């Protein structure tokens, strides 16, 4: 899991070897745009941006600032983007949750969220 809230955090993103380069570019541009819009060096007072790299990141709801497991159906905003890496397309989902005037923005490859949602449905049975 990568938390992105400032320009300095973008170094963690660039150093990551698990994420495709096209996803890193998309996320870097997104964080820069958010910092510019809020005219701030950090988003800490407004919210947090997380990149889930794998299934266990999605399960770690306390690190995401949630009090219970993440329910993707309760997201206030949902966006799916198709990115291309080496000629192969893959989906990236953005979810935004609001709690007490604080935004938690989550990005993950579709495959990570699909695996998480399947597990949550199994546990609910």
Q: What pTM value is reported for the model?
A: 0.89
**Nearest Cα to Cα of residue 27 among 99, 108, 97:** 108
Range of the domain at 111: 2-124
Q: In what order do the strands lie in the sheet with 102-109?
A: 2-4, 47-52, 102-109, 88-99, 77-85
Cα 125 from Cα 119, distance rounded (Å): 10
pLDDT in tens, 52-101: 999 899 999 999 988 888 888 888 988 899 999 999 999 999 999 998 88
DSSP state letter for 56: H
Is a pLDDT exceeding 80 seen at residue 124? no
State how many domains the chain has: 1
């Amino acid at each position: 899991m990568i938390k992105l809230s400032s320009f300095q955090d973008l170094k963690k993103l660039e150093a990551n070897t698990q994420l495709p380069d096209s996803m890193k570019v998309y996320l870097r541009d997104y964080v820069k745009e958010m910092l510019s819009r809020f005219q701030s060096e950090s988003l800490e007072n407004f919210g947090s941006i997380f990149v889930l790299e794998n299934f266990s990141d999605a399960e770690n709801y306390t690190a995401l600032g949630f009090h219970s497991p993440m329910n993707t159906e309760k997201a206030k905003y949902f966006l799916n983007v198709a990115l291309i890496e080496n000629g192969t397309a893959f989906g990236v989902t953005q979810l935004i949750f609001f709690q007490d005037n604080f935004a938690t923005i989550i990005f993950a490859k579709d495959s990570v969220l699909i695996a998480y949602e399947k597990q949550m449905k199994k546990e609910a049975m």
